[in-house]
Every structure is written in C-alpha cells, then in structure tokens.
Amino acid sequence: MKQFKTLLVAVVLFFGATSFVNAQSKVAHIDTQKLISEMPEMIAAKKQLEQVSKTFQADMKSLMDSYQAKIKQYQAEAETVTATMNETRQKEVAGMENNIREFQVNADKSLQQKQLDLIKPIQEKARLAIQKVARAKGVQYVLDATVGGGVLLADGTDLYADVKKELGF
C-alpha cells in the first residue's frame, strides 16, 4: 500500500510537471513603432506625404495672397466706387473666404486619406513579418514594446533584429 501511494504521488508529480512545462508559453516583444518608422517604405511614404503637404501649403498661400490683394485693392478704392459696387465686392470677398475654408478642410481630409492609404499596407507588411518570425522561433505571444504600449518588463526575446532582417533592411 505504501508503494502504491508513492507511485501515485510520483505519477501525479510527473503529470503536474509535464502540464506545467506544456503550459508555459514563449513570449517575445518588439517595438513596432520603431520597426515601422525605420522601414524603407515608411521613409518613402513620409517623403511623399511631405511633398503633398507642401503642395497644399503652396496652393493655400496662393489663395491667401490673392485674397489679401483683393482686400487691399477694394479698401483703397472703397471711397471712389458706389455703395452697390462696395456691397458686391464684400460678397466677393466673403465668397473667397468660404473658398479658402473649404480648400483647407478638403486639403486636410485629402492629406489624412493619403496618409491612411500609404501607412496601412506598411503596417500590414510589418505585422505579417512579425508573425512569420515569431512562428519560426516558436513564439506564441508577441507583446508590443512601444513606449506606452503596455509592456512593463521586456526581458524576453526581442524580435526586432530578426523582423528587420525578414523585411530586408
């Protein structure tokens, strides 16, 4: 009977230890923000967004210069033209102000959409590369080590260098 109890305890400990070993998961971390910001595609996307932004700024400056020139002209001529003409000019200036506001809103929307269109595929490429490397290393969970990303301790395996190599940069 004593041997049976010893055997039973040994079996329980064996299965308990096996379960414990099997229950442990491999966890790794990566700073996704750093990875994505260093990807060649992201660097090119940033340059493209800067170019689009500069184009919008130049167009906005042109509209503002035209608007200010009209105001100066109309103010200088205000006393020499009829009241009806001044009223027409005020409506024209108000229309120009509306056009400038609309341009600004549309430019902002267009820039945001362009940013989304450029960045979404880059993020997807990085995500797929992270998954591929993690699976190849047998990692079951990958935590985002970006500052403020929720990782308090990052002593585990850092996949950054391997994912960077997978992406070819």
Cα angle 152-158-163, degrees, rounded to a multiple of 5: 130
* Residue whose pair of structure tokens reads 């929720």 in the numeric block: 150
Assigned token pair, 162: 């391997």
Average pLDDT over residues 91-114: 96
User: pLDDT-derived band of residue 19, with 50, 70 and 90 as boundaries?
Assistant: very low
* Residue whose pair of structure tokens reads 């379960």 in the numeric block: 19
Total domains present in the chain: 1
Residues in Cβ contact with 96 at an 8 Å cutoff, skipping those fewer than 6 apart: 63, 66, 67, 70
pLDDT in tens, 57-89: 999 999 999 999 999 999 999 889 898 999 999
Partners of residue 158 on adjacent β-strands: 29
Residue at 168: amino acid letter: G
| 59 CA to centre of own chain | 26
**Nearest-angstrom CA–CA distance, 158 and 160:** 6
Assigned token pair, 89: 């000019």
pTM of the model: 0.70
**Nearest-angstrom CA–CA distance, 90 and 71:** 9
Residue-range definition of the domain harbouring residue 120? 2-167
